[in-house]
Amino acid sequence: MPWHTDPAFEDHFRATVVSRKPGYYTAMHPPDQWLAFELYPDDSGVSVRISPTGPGGDSQPAPTRTETFQGEPIRLGEIYRVLHLAAALSETVGVSDVVDLVTEEMLPAFGARTVALLAAENGRMRVIGRSGYNPSLLEHFDGMPLTHPAPAVRVLATGVPSFFASFDELSRAYPPAPHQKGLHAWAFLPLIASGRPVGSCVFAFDRPHPFPDQQRVVFIALAGLIAQALERARLYDTSNELAKTLQASLLPDSLPDLPGLDVAARYVPSVRGMDIGGDFYDLVRVDDSTAAAVIGDVQGHNVNAAALMGRVRPAIRSHAASGATPSQALAQANRQLVAMDPGRFVSCLYVHLDLAHHRAVLATAGHPPPVLRHPDGHAKVLPLRPGVLLGIDPDADYPPTEIPLTPGTVLALYTDGLVETPGVDMDDAMSGLATQLARASIQPMDRLATALIDRARQTAPRTDDIALLLIGLATAG
């Protein structure tokens, strides 16, 4: 029905879909035939019954302007604007990204003076973003129940956008509406994603604005795009927070304070997936002069990898606390992992620190070798005798390597995410880490850890987790 293209007709259908209640409106078929449209929603869609009626049969205002029945074309610039903002919204990740895009790019795109983004949370409206609005004015809406008659809430309940060309129109529809100096027109847009209300978006203009039909169509289309982006972003933020909480629970809350040691650790999740993986580190105090440092990487980057890490790290920790040597600790952990048969392998580096005799014994299970910085400032990658990954061969052994640890020495343990870069040889990447460690200031150790992580994140995109454990021996005096 080409004469049935007015946006107001679409509003009736949208209201029926969202509210799941029957709808009714009338429209005039040119030149003078009035028709009644009855809308009946169910799980499969909306059934429509059309019958002749008179001009007085409409229970709600309906458009009767015959000049719009043929449809007003949307200008090319408006289409480009929708496509541009749609592309930008598709690249947003978290809720803050969506809020920034809506509040920074859509104001100039539509010539609006202010915009506010509200989300439905636990039966109430929450202001999650704004630009140009007086904060005290938005306090009126923040926390408002979803049953409130305010336009920003009502459009969410009905699914029908509201456009007010002047404050007089707004005050007639909602008499308690507060007036902000310099604002004269408003567009209240419901944000509906997958048939579920997620929030509303409010644009305000600094002069009366008639909202022609083609602009209403653009606003409604963008509201749908914003809703989808906002819903996707909220799901991402929820899963991301869950992943970080789980990851943090699997890593040590803090590192023990050992006399003569200055230590720092970092864990940085990958930028992909759920931000959870199997990288782990630990520092175990055995006695006043002995400690064990461990770092490892479970194969994979998902919840299963993290769950396996949650079993491997405590097992190795228990071996360390019992006084096992690095070779014994890795061999015992390897046999346990083979017996579990998780279908995943684990790399691990174990360091036994003897502070009384200033020495360390290391053993590796397929893990990148540590970098040692000497007190004179030069640093090198330690050549360790290799051992097979944990979880492959139950009879594998892990030969030890002993090194001196003089005061002023720094030992850097890390996972491959810190150095691995596409197109760069791994040996060259580890040598680059040694060069960076040699040039860096080692005081304080916590600042050095931050510098190494920042450097890694700036040099190339990282697609793997990063774990870093720095161990420094205090200088005499």
CA-nearest of 69, 33, 65 to 50 is 33
Q: Is it the case that residue 338 has pLDDT exceeding 80?
A: yes
Residue among 101, 423, 399, 67 nearest 230 (CA): 101
* Ordered domains of the chain (ranges, CATH): 7-68 (no CATH), 76-243 (3.30.450.40), 254-473 (3.60.40.10)
Q: Cβ distance 173 to 167 under 8 Å? A: no
pLDDT at residue 205 in the model:
92
Upper half-sphere CA count for residue 313 (Cβ side, 13 Å): 24
Tell me the average pLDDT across 394-401. Answer: 94
Q: In 69-143, where do the E strands start and end?
A: 114-121, 124-131
Highest mean predicted confidence (pLDDT) among 205-214, 304-313, 383-392: 383-392
> What is the tens place of the pLDDT at every residue in 156-166?
888 889 999 99
Which of helix, strand or coil describes residue 65? Answer: coil
For residues 383 and 369, the answer to whether their CB atoms sit within 8 Å is yes
Higher pLDDT, 67 or 148: 148
Map residue 144 onto helix, strand or coil: coil
The proportion of the chain whose per-residue pLDDT surpasses 70, expressed as a percent, equals 86
How far, in whole angstroms, is CA 328 from its chain's centroid? 41
- pLDDT tens string 191-234: 988 778 888 999 999 899 888 887 888 888 888 888 888 888 88
Tokens (6 digits) for 264: 């720092």
